[in-house]
């Protein structure tokens, strides 16, 4: 399982092992200030990261930041 959440400390405290930080509480996988196309690109980027996280072996709680 990969957890996509904005408040990473909560995700860590409840014990998620693969964590993708997201955009904002009311729209974790979107940004209403962007155009629809830009927004979908952003969402795709985050979901791609989530899939990559699922393909990555981890031994402890891991937050996948953008540079990873």
Partner 1 sequence: MTYRVVHYINQFFAGIGGEEKADIKPEVREGVVGPGMALNAAFKGEAEVVATVICGDNYFADNIDDTSDFIASKVKEFNADGFVAGPGFNAGRYGTACGAICCAVGEKLGIPTVTALYPENPGAEMYKKGTYVIVAADSARGMGKAVPAMASLLLKQMKGEAIGTPDEEGYIEKGVRINMFYEKVGAERAIDMLIKKLKGEPFKTEYKMPVFDRVDPRPAIKDMSKAKIALVTSGGIVPFGNPDHIAASSAQNFGEYDITGVMDLKEGEYQTAHGGYDQTYANQDADRVLPVDVLRDIEKEGRIGSLHHLFYTTVGNGTAVANSKKFGVEMGKRLKAAGVDAVILTST
Nearer CB in complex with partner 1: 28/68:
28
What residues have CB less than 8 Å from 17, skipping those under 6 apart?
A: 1, 58, 60, 61, 62
Q: What is the DSSP letter of 63?
A: E
Q: Is 57 in the site for partner 1 (CB under 8 A)?
A: yes
63 binds partner 1 (CB under 8 A): no
The site map against partner 1 for 14-43 (x = CB under 8 A) is xxxxx---x--xxxxxx-x------xx--x
Whether the CB-CB separation of 3 and 19 falls below 8 Å is answered with yes
48 DSSP assignment: H
Q: Which residues bind partner 1 (CB under 8 A)?
A: 1-7, 10-11, 13-18, 22, 25-30, 32, 39-40, 43-44, 46-48, 50-51, 54-62
């Amino acid at each position: 399982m990969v957890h996509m959440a904005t408040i990473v400390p909560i995700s860590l405290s409840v014990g998620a092992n693969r964590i993708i930080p997201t955009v904002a509480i009311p729209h974790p996988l979107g940004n209403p200030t962007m155009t629809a196309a830009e927004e979908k690109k952003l969402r795709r980027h985050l979901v791609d990261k989530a899939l990559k996280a699922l393909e990555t072996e981890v031994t402890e709680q891991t937050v996948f930041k953008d540079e990873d």
